[in-house]
Structure 1
């Protein structure tokens, strides 16, 4: 609840204001109207567009606000539902809100931009790393800030000038998103570094919003500029986006703004997530196609050469951004390749199979068919190349495999996940061990790892044995493995609060006995090896 501390909402406020109705087969609109957070969570995790409209042009958040379901509304907001005032959907939700608590929740979230995925966020920061591009955003968004520790900057290779104002970009991104721009770069604009548009009617805000969308899969535009954007989309052959904007223009024309008569359309904004478009026209699909065009850097791993794009590598990885931005015309591995002209980097101590998977993730934000035997190397690569979201993607691919592994292998993954900081795998392993503690206690592998871990906290004041309050802040950093295992075991075994400390002491004594057994087994093994 730390994000909501300043709006005076308590955990009990997140109970529905009307009796819940289960809709096990309902869509996202029915689940939001009924306050069925279980069904809603399933739909959102399945990839449903949180800002989709139904046949009455209403979004799911509108129904959650109308019915006063704070828990459902919060879930939608955390998954990117748009609630900003002066937007078509945001205004409807604010005025439909059943009570003040719902309005407070909307206020808490409207200052935050809809969340972006790792790929979209990385490319957006690259685009806004340019002072010329960032200056326009800061004009209308005083709360704008980078998600990283410092602004990302990777030099552009192309600049548009509209009305004397620059928009810096990378031609490979523009080519991937627009068939028109791709053709221009191959013909009329081939070899050119800049284009100056002389047409006074070409709208700078609309064109800027489109270029920003190409990088981030998120469109943010003033209502006044939407008709100009429709015309630009038509020229750039962005047909799906054009259709969505045309429909929204009609919504804006006929929307009832009786309560906002003092606010003109220049102050109202429209926000669109890329998930509203067909999958093959979103950023990950566009970058997948990008692998076949305009390659400008090569990386040699073992005996294989991977051809990539500098802007993608630099946007996704601080490691590559540093290497690429400080070197020019480098040919580190050119031995044996006398006719090779592309800049070439050479990477060591990494298999080409793991590197290929890493490149797949950097371009698409997803992984397919990850071999569990590759997972450890992938975790290591994610740490080495500062590509930390890759760990979560590998963890998601690995979890189904861990459902079936024997205790010995699960112990191995527990240690690895703790070493590499993969919280999802670590939590899964601890949950399974806590629920089947005696089964694991009977295995030599579990007893052996007890000797390699820091001992549990002996002072009861240091233990986290008190159960978490509903809505309490979740601990996001991992601590002592045995302390965390004790806590999970207590959640399973010690239901009565007044007996939790007593049960914790019994658990610690059980661990001490297992460690003694492990030491004896270790001594016997050492003696047998003499």
Structure 2
């Protein structure tokens, strides 16, 4: 298949390695890239290795793949977020070191096209750009450099959530939220605890302070992606120094030197105001990225959530706060909302809840009073909302995901409630996060339990678990066919379609990936079984018919077992009636038992 973009033409033959491949089963990401070992490279990237990490020679993995001419390895790195913009330090090294023209073509195809943001970063970025003030400056920039998924024609009010602080720089506003800035920068955290504690508007009068540089930094705080004009990079370095952002400052200083002294033959007629520098958050240490920063804030808020829950203390605070109608004393978590779940008060942050869940955004925007419910007690003078039919453990797991985009672990017994929570609170990516944590557990469950998980996954639309269960059943079909639970489960699903034209899945070559949407479960099971059996294409309809007949036999057995169970239950009822007992009577030993029987 050809890859054609902006005059760049690559086909499958171009992905043959220019240097002989070798396996490095224990190699790191740099060795795997240099050797062209795509299997090892895929394993490392799926394990969470930083694709833009540097080795002791200050080189990234993409540089070695380009140097050795491994087109397939280079493409894998680029698709995982490796930076290749021609006017960046790493991008230029890759372009100049590329072994052949094919590699350069590939780099040009991916140039300045960062991968989609993760759900957390994308949600917070949308909140930042939904502000009319922030959006207006964004729309002034060259549309060629706009981030994926954002259209300049979208209304700025879409998804808008009010800021709690506005910075005025040279008469131009930047709207933001205290908790995001405090989580990312010690400088902002200290300022919000002292000089800017009660201020909703902060004017920064410094003449040398660059509005575009500060805007790019605050945008980076929300999205974990820095996008800035080369002309503004030196100003941003100075701001990073003031804000104590050491890791970001070091990267930018190196780029500034590169921008000053490198010769850009391809861009010699383009001034620096038209050149953009893009930096992924993955280039920073883990502790300096957005999820880690918000996780720290969350842990502080959760520890504070257990404080001040005594009734007398809460009443005293309520009496002392009557008439004040404002947030009380500030503590180090910067919480601005209390969520009450099953009698426990959780200190949270409105911008995170509203950005991640349309449900919470609607509730918070419509919240008029400081607390709901007649018996609600004031907690630290925070506005408070109450959630029902939800356990505290499930809520903690939900906000862990909302703040960090991940889950450390989860009790399998919680899974069903978590799937329900994801649906109720419109947090659909949470289902995938729960599935990722559960999959290792599913490798050890019995066939009977796996049937339960398949029903659950199909009910809640958890595609990853559904596919895993279907794959396992298809590989061990006869083992599952011998279990009563599997046969009973077949009766709960619509029957498979007999005609191949009516199937929800299109027959594919054996071993190919299934790329259809979730449809008839038994149709999907049939297709997976056919792939495993490696049925020839001209025999697939006949094999599918045999599989359907096998399912029909199992369903007949299940119907008979269901009938036998019903008769057994009926006989048991008759026996109880013969003894003069109702079905829900409780027999007691001794004299009481004899009295009941008589």
Task: Tell me which interval the TM-score lies in, with the shorter structure as reference length.
Answer: over 0.9
Q: Go from structure 1 to structure 2 and tell me whether the alpha carbon gap of 1:297 and 1:38 turns closer, same or farther (over 3 Å shift).
A: same
Q: Go from structure 1 to structure 2 and tell me whether the alpha carbon gap of 1:8 and 1:377 turns closer, same or farther (over 3 Å shift).
A: farther
| 8 A contact 1:222–1:267 mirrored in 2 | yes
Structure 1: segments with no counterpart, 5+ residues: none
Using the size of structure 1 for normalisation, the TM-score is 0.92
* Cα deviations by residue, 1:329-379 (Å, 9 ceiling, x for unpaired): 341135152676321111111111111111111112221231000011001
Deviation at 1:58, TM superposition (A): 3.3
Deviation at 1:417, TM superposition (A): 0.8
Deviation at 1:423, TM superposition (A): 1.1
In structure 1, what is the equivalent of residue 508 of structure 2? 467
SS at match of 1:220: strand
In structure 1, what is the equivalent of residue 348 of structure 2? 308
In structure 2, what is the equivalent of residue 51 of structure 1? 52
| 8 A contact 1:227–1:249 mirrored in 2 | yes
| 8 A contact 1:465–1:501 mirrored in 2 | no
In structure 2, what is the equivalent of residue 135 of structure 1? 136
SS at match of 1:266: helix
Q: Go from structure 1 to structure 2 and tell me whether the alpha carbon gap of 1:512 and 1:474 turns closer, same or farther (over 3 Å shift).
A: closer
**Counterpart selection for 1:399 from 435, 439, 447:** 439
* Cα deviations by residue, 1:434-483 (Å, 9 ceiling, x for unpaired): 1100000001111111111111121123444643599x886262121111
Question: In 2, Cα distance between the equivalents of 1:512 and 1:3?
Answer: 47
SS at match of 1:331: coil
The 10-residue stretch of structure 1 (443-452 or 78-87) with the greater mean CA deviation from structure 2 = 78-87
Question: In 2, Cα distance between the equivalents of 1:334 and 1:176?
Answer: 35
Higher relative CO (Cα under 8 Å, sequence separation at least 6) belongs to 1
Question: In 1, Cα distance between the equivalents of 2:397 and 2:257?
Answer: 44
Residue 178 in 1 paired to residue 177 in 2? Answer: no
In structure 2, what is the equivalent of residue 449 of structure 1? 489
SS at match of 1:20: coil
The 10-residue stretch of structure 1 (405-414 or 100-109) with the greater mean CA deviation from structure 2 = 100-109
Residue 427 in 1 paired to residue 467 in 2? Answer: yes
Question: In 1, Cα distance between the equivalents of 2:484 and 2:428?
Answer: 33
In structure 1, what is the equivalent of residue 205 of structure 2? 198
Question: In 2, Cα distance between the equivalents of 1:164 and 1:331?
Answer: 37
In structure 2, what is the equivalent of residue 258 of structure 1? 265
Deviation at 1:145, TM superposition (A): 6.1
Question: In 2, Cα distance between the equivalents of 1:108 and 1:454?
Answer: 46
In structure 1, what is the equivalent of residue 172 of structure 2? 165
Deviation at 1:9, TM superposition (A): 4.9
Deviation at 1:52, TM superposition (A): 2.0
**Counterpart selection for 1:220 from 213, 222, 227:** 227
| 8 A contact 2:442–2:450 mirrored in 1 | yes
Q: Go from structure 1 to structure 2 and tell me whether the alpha carbon gap of 1:47 and 1:416 turns closer, same or farther (over 3 Å shift).
A: same
**Counterpart selection for 1:377 from 417, 423, 445:** 417
| 8 A contact 2:63–2:93 mirrored in 1 | yes
1:329-408 counterparts in 2 under 5 A?
329-333=369-373, 335-337=375-377, 341-408=381-448
Deviation at 1:228, TM superposition (A): 1.2
Using the size of structure 2 for normalisation, the TM-score is 0.82
In structure 2, what is the equivalent of residue 124 of structure 1? 125
In structure 2, what is the equivalent of residue 246 of structure 1? 253
In structure 1, what is the equivalent of residue 275 of structure 2? 268
| 8 A contact 1:125–1:146 mirrored in 2 | no
In structure 2, what is the equivalent of residue 187 of structure 1? 194
In structure 1, what is the equivalent of residue 533 of structure 2? 493
Question: In 1, Cα distance between the equivalents of 2:349 and 2:247?
Answer: 26
Question: In 1, Cα distance between the equivalents of 2:362 and 2:353?
Answer: 10
